[in-house]
Chains A and B, each alone.
Chain A
Amino acid sequence: EKEFHSVANETLHRLQEKIDEYGEKLAIDGFDTDFAEGVLTVRLGDLGTYVINKQTPNRQIWLSSPVSGPARFDWQDSQWVYRRTKVELQSLLEKELSELLGHSIDLGE
């Protein structure tokens, strides 16, 4: 469980940092991020709100997207993967945010 928290926290923290950078750079209306108690909330004004949180009992990261709805990610082969669609968390966010914000988004290191 400690490993889960360590990996998940690192992921969420990095996502917040990267998204914050874009928030500043792109001057999005109603932009706000908040990371507290294992819940990362990203507000994009009228474009919608993302909620990404740790679901500790299942060792998962849960995502609620204004574009694709809910998804649950498991840590597999050093990636967060949604078993149903095999989609990876970072790529999903990059793709959706790029479309929503009209700007290419890179959330990697």
Chain B
Amino acid sequence: RFYHEKVVDHYNNPRNVGSFDASDPSVGTGLVGAPACGDVMKLQIRVGDDGKIVDSCFKTFGCGSAIASSSVASEWIKGKGMDEVSKITNNDIAKHLSLPPVKLHCSMLAEDAIKAAIKDYDAKRKK
């Protein structure tokens, strides 16, 4: 198997690996995937007073493409508003990493993780 150099780069130098306090009101946590299939992604966002994502981090359990997809996702969402970020699609991530057909599911999972983090943040704000 051959991994595209962008995927290898994110695998060797993942951006934003880490964890925020999930109970912090400015933090949204998206947890997607299932260990049974070998992929679990946790993507967290910290939202500023202006409604923009000031920081993000992730932890992913899975293949190189899954790690790269969530790493790319965590980079792309920084400094953006939540509406803008919900427009990021698995297709954007897949094209950026030149993912082969069998790995498109990884970029889909990353898109799901972004949406889940936003949903969690919104749900917390309503409480």
Contact = CB atoms under 8 A, between A and B. Distances in A.
Interface of A: 39, 48-51, 53, 55, 57-58, 62, 64-66, 69-70, 72
Contacts of A50: 101
The majority secondary structure among interface residues of chain A is strand
B38 to A, nearest CB: 8
B85 interface: no
B91 interface: yes
B123 interface: no
A70 B37 contact: no
B36 A70 contact: no
B95 to A, nearest CB: 10
Contacts of A72: 105
A58 B107 CA distance: 18
Interface in B17-38: 34, 36-37
Nearest to A72: B105
B94 A69 contact: yes
Nearest to B38: A57
30 contacts: A39-B102, A48-B101, A49-B101, A50-B101, A51-B101, A51-B102, A55-B37, A57-B34, A57-B36, A57-B37, A58-B36, A58-B37, A62-B105, A64-B101, A64-B102, A64-B103, A64-B104, A64-B105, A65-B101, A69-B90, A69-B91, A69-B94, A69-B104, A69-B108, A70-B90, A70-B104, A70-B105, A70-B107, A70-B108, A72-B105
Contacts of A57: 34, 36-37
Contacts of A66: 101
Nearest to B36: A57
Contacts of A53: 102
